[in-house]
Amino acid sequence: MAESWPGSPTISWNENSNSMPTNTNYGSLLEHINLPSDLRALGENELPKLAEELRKFLVETVSKTGGHLAAGLGTVELTIALHYVFNTPHDRLVWDVGHQTYPHKILTGRRKQMATLRQEGGLSGFPRREESEYDTFGVGHSSTSISAALGMAVAAARKKEDRHVVAVIGDGALSAGMAFEALNNAGDMDANILVVLNDNDMSISPNVGAMSNYLVRILSGKVYSSVRSGSKTVLGTIPPMWELAKRAEEHMKGMVMPSTLFEELGFNYFGPIDGHDLKTLTHTLSNLRNQNGPRFLHVVTRKGKGYEPAEGDPCVYHGVSPFDPSTGKMESKPKTKTYTQVFGDWLCDMAAKDDTLVAITPAMAEGSGMVAFSKQFPERYFDVGIAEQHALTFAAGLACEGLKPVVAIYSTFLQRAYDQLIHDICLQDLPVMLAIDRAGLVGADGATHGGNFDLSYLRSLPNITIMAPADENECRQMLTTAHHIKGPSAVRYPRGSGPGAKISKDLVDLPMGKAEIQQQGSRVAILAFGSMVAPALEAGNTLGATVVNMRFIKPLDENLIRELAGSHELIVTVEENTIKGGAGSAVNECLAEASITVPIINLGLPDAFVEHGETRSLLSQCGLDAQGIRHSILRAAPVKLARVLESA
């Protein structure tokens, strides 16, 4: 039996009962669960009913707000079991990525707020320390849970605090090097930590059945652990006998479970077990709660569990827009092509013309628009898993041998491979092209996924060429230009659709480092980068300003900048990147180097993390819509000039 704390449940399943006891105080179980302490007051045979209600509530909620669905459906039972067995929040529960944490949010006091999920001022789509004491670590990027949990476990030991620490990581996140670095460190330190692998990349194998569940419950139990510990003490005085016993144990476990790797890293491995079997989950977790040292529990779940559309296509239902819960049909998408689709089309067209082109993604084939390419050119398509650092150095190796790698990556994920970009690509001046998706604000995904910094962290690097398209056709032209560059290059484009420009099928290069004047005016010159060209044109029309599509961040069109500074009273730069160190700073540096003094206004994203919300609203709050740009110019311009502009 598990050790207990005040109010903790007693784990004692009635093996002979198939009935579901009812509690007269509870109409619907879920509506009475406001905190995990309420959950722990339930009888264990009520938990499957709660899981059913929780799953239904999750589908209904996300159908209205959109968000990540399939992963959360797969962790309903696991979430219930973890909060039922462990005394959260005193015991630390650390989630990885956060896609699977909606059930956790519902059970930890936020059920009534789920209607605000991913909306401005509402709940985040990811765990956040500011949001709840049950969110022990803020996440959004993968593979951080084991490292963070290890830190918490070591801190608890140093402070002599009696608490358990559990990290929950998915099989995809476990593919990242950081996760194995943490496992190696935790095993070497003999830390008191439990790692739960939520393996949802396969259907339940023959091993995950009654026999496997039974063996894991035996192996995780107190009797087996005592015998194992006692045998080590007794047989340890006779080394050959202990070695023989140890090998016999490993052989027995190896016949039914893939334990070798994690055992070698210093963990005591248990599993795999059925992650939808609440009885086995609670029994096993309760047993493991009574053990010390590095423990690894392998749990197999099914993405989309319990909701047929999501079970049938977990990729589509990984991240969803609002949908009809009765049919699973999602709201119709806009007919205008997104930048991601423009990239996907270009990739296939260019690959048909150039057989040296190869494409790489760190586990974002669908999100980066590479599905069609993967089917048409499977031998030239490489999904390296959640391993951004490896993706860039792998691309560098390909480039060394004469191939032309295209790495499709989100701006926020490129941050994780910065050293490889500097050391392995730019330093060696290799022709690796970065197709940077989700540059700028990303709306409902919020601060963890915002691509607000790439212009700042890229433009300081030698040898790289950086471009940002104003529309869909220019995106295609820039991708072509980047492909033909003999050194590192980057094309950064925003999430979603552009202004709806007609897209030519031609593969045409742009003149290197040349901007384009879109509107000729006087007094004020607005230098706009990428997605900001459209609102800058709208604002410029009301002010009689010159508006320039800068196209290139590096190299800048320095001749045009100096010319405009000499013929205008005010220079304004506008970018969907943080102002600090961004494209506007590059313009400032250009003018300073030429000893040209002219009033300059730099507009861009603030020196702060921009939270989740609707993208258009967030841009407006940052002063990056047409009205905001106009207002900023009038407010910051010299008084005499502002009066002239207002009367224009």
Q: Is 128 a catalytic residue?
A: no
Of 172, 164, 166, whose CA–CA distance to 143 is shortest?
A: 172
Please provide the distance, in angstroms rounded to a whole number, between the alpha carbons at the two ends of the chain. Answer: 81
Query: What's the rounded Cα separation, in Å, for the pair 55 and 57?
Result: 5
Residues in CB range of 495: below 8 A, 6 or more apart: 338, 339, 340, 437, 438, 440, 442, 443, 615
**Which of the following is catalytic: 55, 128, 289, 303?**
303
SS3 at position 304: coil
Query: What's the rounded Cα separation, in Å, for the pair 406 and 347?
Result: 9
Q: Give burial (CB, 10 Å; 0-12/13-18/19+) of 505.
A: exposed
Query: What's the rounded Cα separation, in Å, for the pair 141 and 179?
Result: 12
Alpha helices in 190-276 (DSSP H): 210-219, 222-235, 239-256, 260-264
SS3 at position 561: helix
**Which of the following is catalytic: 388, 472, 474, 576?**
388
**Which of the following is catalytic: 40, 302, 416, 495?**
416
Question: Would you say 507 and 349 are in contact if contact means Cβ atoms under 8 Å apart?
Answer: yes
Question: Would you say 145 and 96 are in contact if contact means Cβ atoms under 8 Å apart?
Answer: yes
Q: Is 388 a catalytic residue?
A: yes
Query: What's the rounded Cα separation, in Å, for the pair 79 and 364?
Result: 26
Q: How far is CA 556 from CA 321, 326, 370, in A?
A: 39, 53, 30
Query: What's the rounded Cα separation, in Å, for the pair 284 and 274?
Result: 11
| Phi, psi (deg, nearest 5) at residue 76 | -60, -55
- Sign for the pseudo-dihedral over CA of 297, 300, 304, 310: positive
Q: Is 232 a catalytic residue?
A: no
Distance of CA 148 to the CA centre of its chain: 16
**How many CA atoms within 13 Å lie on the side-chain side of 239?**
0
Question: Would you say 95 and 145 are in contact if contact means Cβ atoms under 8 Å apart?
Answer: yes
Residues in CB range of 86: below 8 A, 6 or more apart: 93, 164, 166, 285, 289
Of 342, 339, 381, whose CA–CA distance to 359 is shortest?
A: 381
* 15, two tokens: 């093996």
Amino acid 400 reads C
CB count in 10 Å sphere of residue 329: 10
* 315, two tokens: 């990729």
Question: Would you say 467 and 480 are in contact if contact means Cβ atoms under 8 Å apart?
Answer: no
Active site residues: 303, 388, 416
